[in-house]
Structure 1
Amino acid sequence: MTDISLLMPFAPHRPEQVLPYAALVQWTAAHRLWQGQAMLNEPFQDFTHAAACGFRVPTGTGVTLMPMRHPFQAALQARSLALSSGHSVVAGFGPGSVPLQNSLLGAPYASQLGAVREYVTVMRGLLEDGEVSHTGRYFTCHADLPPLPRPPVHIGLGVLRPRMARLAGEAADVAITWLTPAAYVRDVLVPALREGAEAAGRPVPRVSVMVPLALDAPGRDAVELAAISNTGHTMLAHYADMLGRSGIKVSPDDPQGNARALLDGGAFLYGGPDELGERLAEYTRAGADEIVLNVTGVHMRYGERASLSELENLLQAVGA
């Protein structure tokens, strides 16, 4: 059975803003609360605050960015959150864009996949063995992280394209996708995950898909909501490449055209409850183990009450 989870639909600038969404997960059948990388408050801190306020729920970071923290700090933060919340944590990471790497590191990773592999190696050694001795091209860590009884920490990787999917199959516990149409997940990403897992002799990672969507309602403009939700992503080269592979052509010069293309190509879902329930079921048939409802467009256009109501209605639509 596919789990249904929720994404924080905005980057909070005060940790208490997380509480209504954590409460929604705690009080419904929603599986996990996710948050992407934020430049205001750190998601690990936001989730720990929610736990301290009594909203102890499974959490996921989808995805936080490797240039912002050493893998030792990443392992320590993820473990600390699991201890604080009393629930499992998906610690999802990705290398970020080349401009971000340039701005924080002085140069991009010479090999994106090589850097990710080293990052996961260090994290897994610390989280599973309690120690690691690794001298690599990108990361060095000779350190202990004494084991403590805690809920599991699952290492996730942001996955958009086949080579990263294969690496996730070899090394990660969870593959996290964003803006990926169901057919692309089925035909491109899941086969690559299986290939990597078979080569490494390990189980295929769980697949968690972040799906931007909105319910049809009077006065709403689907193109506007798709644009508000995803224009930033369509301007990034790695997202544009993934979308092109899925048959969706985007251009840095045409945000409105990009939004229409996302709607037409099934990367942004819009429709009534029954229609959205069926279109989300396509992700289950494609191999998704978890569907994460992303109502960022609704939140940014209509505010918090609307986004919370939207999530409640969507949970009902999918029977969660």
Structure 2
Amino acid sequence: GTDMVDVENDTFTVHNPLTLAPVSPLPVLIAALGPVMLRLAGERADGTVLWMADERAVAEHVVPRITKAAESAGRPAPRIVAGIPVCLCSPDRVDEARERANRILGEAEISPNYQRVLEYGDARDVGDLCAAGDENAIAARFKRFADAGVTDLSVRLLPIGDNRDELVASKYRTRDMLAALAADLR
């Protein structure tokens, strides 16, 4: 509504307009990797959120199934959100970034669901999914995901370094580069 909030007591003094705009429908995204869940996501939700799915798995496994289900249900094209680790680093440190991704994020690989989605693509582990390198390498990897059918990215910052200060600095460099890239896309 468009009423006022008027409260005066020993704890609060509030005199503010209360203007609530109409709330638009909230998109519902399902973490769907397998054929049945992708069908359900296409038929009933607004899309899927992925982890451990590389570009080939997205293009050849995810997109065809979820898109067909959405079309059959008369729903709009689904959103496909790819979760990927990202590390801005010099080209000679890409292997270090991949090794760190495997060390700190690799526990997901033991999940049967993630093992199956890895089989649909070329990646063998989370390190293979990592977008690592300089700005151009990261942008190129993002483009390959977009070309595969990804509509949105969910980024996991992946800092590298030999101590806390280096890790923090790496995290902020990557974050700032991603913010600049996002601003350029607007």
| Normalised TM-score (structure 2) | 0.73
The change in CA–CA distance for 1:228 and 1:293 in structure 2 (over 3 A counts) is same
- Alignment of 1:282 with 2:113, yes or no, is no
The change in CA–CA distance for 1:275 and 1:247 in structure 2 (over 3 A counts) is closer
Structure 2 residue matching 1:270: 3-state secondary structure: strand
| Normalised TM-score (structure 1) | 0.45
Structural mapping, 1:1-320, within 5 Å: 149-217=22-90, 221-249=96-124, 258=125, 262-263=127-128, 267-295=129-157, 297-298=158-159, 302-317=166-181, 319-320=184-185
What percentage of aligned pairs have identical amino acids?
23
Provide, for residues 132-155 of structure 1, a one-character-per-residue CA deviation record: whole Å limited to 9, x for no partner. xxxxxxxxxxxxxxxx94243111
Report the RMSD for the aligned CA atoms in angstroms.
Answer: 2.7
Q: Partners of 1:219 and 1:198 in 2: how far apart?
A: 43
Q: Partners of 1:219 and 1:187 in 2: how far apart?
A: 31
Preserved CA contact (<8 Å) 2:131 2:137: no
Structure 2: give runs of 5+ residues left out of the alignment. 1-19
Preserved CA contact (<8 Å) 1:163 1:192: no
Q: Which has the higher contact order (CA 8 A, sep 6+)?
A: 2
Work out the number of aligned pairs and report it: 160
Quote the offset at 1:192 in angstroms.
Answer: 0.4
Structure of greater Rg: 2
Q: Which residue of 2 aligns with 1:36?
A: none
* Runs (4+) off by over 4 Å: 299-305
Residue type at the aligned position of 1:233: A
Preserved CA contact (<8 Å) 2:100 2:160: no
Structure 1: give runs of 5+ residues left out of the alignment. 1-85, 87-147, 250-257
Preserved CA contact (<8 Å) 1:215 1:310: yes
